[in-house]
Amino acid sequence: MCGIIGVVGSTEALATLLDGLERLEYRGYDSAGVALVRPGSTWRARSAAGTTSVAALREQCLAAPEGYFSGIGHTRWATHGAPEAVNAHPHLDCSGKVAIIHNGIIENHAVLREQLLTRGHVFTSATDSEVVAHLIEEQRRGGADLLESVRRTLGDIRGAFALAVVDASEPDVIVAARRISPLVVGTAPGVTYLASDVPAMWGRAENFYVVDDDEIVRLVPAGCSAIDLDGTPVRLRALQVDWDLETAQLDGFDDFMSKEIAEQPHAVRNTLLDRRREDGSITFDEIRISDDELRRVRRVVLVACGTSLHAAHIAKYAIERWARLSVEVEIASEYHYRDPLVEVGTLVIGISQSGETIDTIQATREAKRRGATVLAVCNVVDASLARDADAVLYTRAGLEVSVASTKAYVAQIAALEILALRLAQLRGTLTPFDIDEHLGALLAVPDLIATALRTAPAVRAVATELLGARDYFFIGRHLGFPTALEGALKLKEITYLHAEGYAAGELKHGPLALIEPGVVVVAVVTDELLHDKMMSNLAEVKARGASVVAVAREDDRRIDAVADFVLRVPSAHPMLAPMVDIIPLQLLAYELARGLGRNVDRPRNLAKTVTVE
Query: Catalytic residue numbers?
Result: 2, 608
- Which residue lies nearer to ligand F6R by CB, 314 or 404? 404
- Which residue lies nearer to ligand F6R by CB, 268 or 562? 268
CA 531, 532, 537, 543 dihedral sign is: positive
CB of 309 to ligand F6R, least distance (A): 7
CB of 486 to ligand F6R, least distance (A): 8
Interaction site with ligand F6R (CB under 6 A): 305-308, 352-354, 357, 360, 404-405, 489, 493, 610
CB of 164 to ligand F6R, least distance (A): 23
Give me the residues paired with residue 160 across strands. Answer: 105
CB of 306 to ligand F6R, least distance (A): 2
Q: Is beta strand 373-378 parallel, antiparallel or unpaired with respect to 471-476? A: unpaired
- Which residue lies nearer to ligand F6R by CB, 125 or 362? 362
- Which residue lies nearer to ligand F6R by CB, 77 or 208? 77
Give me the residues paired with residue 8 across strands. Answer: 192
- Which residue lies nearer to ligand F6R by CB, 175 or 261? 261
Alpha-carbon distance values, 580 to 76, 521, 575, 594 (Å):
35, 19, 11, 22
Q: What are phi and psi of 596, to 5 degrees?
A: -90, 0
Virtual torsion, Cα 170, 174, 179, 181, nearest 10 deg: 140
- Which residue lies nearer to ligand F6R by CB, 353 or 483? 353
DSSP assigned state of 198: S
Cα 55 from chain centroid (whole Å): 23
Do the beta carbons of residue 237 and residue 217 sit within 8 Å? no
Residue of closest CB approach to ligand F6R: 306
Do the beta carbons of residue 250 and residue 256 sit within 8 Å? yes
CB of 360 to ligand F6R, least distance (A): 5
DSSP track, 322-360 = II--EEEEEEHHHHTTS-----TTEEEEEEESSS--HHH
Query: What is the rounded distance in angstroms from the CA atom of residue 593 to the CA atom of residue 492?
Result: 9
- Which residue lies nearer to ligand F6R by CB, 130 or 359? 359
Report helix angle 578-595 to 264-272, nearest 10. Answer: 150
CB of 66 to ligand F6R, least distance (A): 40
DSSP track, 231-247 = S-EEPPEE------GGG
Do the beta carbons of residue 35 and residue 43 sit within 8 Å? yes
- Which residue lies nearer to ligand F6R by CB, 306 or 570? 306
CB of 391 to ligand F6R, least distance (A): 18
Do the beta carbons of residue 76 and residue 196 sit within 8 Å? no
Do the beta carbons of residue 536 and residue 551 sit within 8 Å? no
Residue whose C-alpha is closest to residue 215's, from 179, 174, 181: 179
Residues in contact with 480: Cβ distance below 8 Å, sequence separation at least 6, in sequence order: 504, 523, 524, 525, 526, 527, 530, 534, 577, 581
CB of 280 to ligand F6R, least distance (A): 32
Residue whose C-alpha is closest to residue 524's, from 467, 584, 591: 584
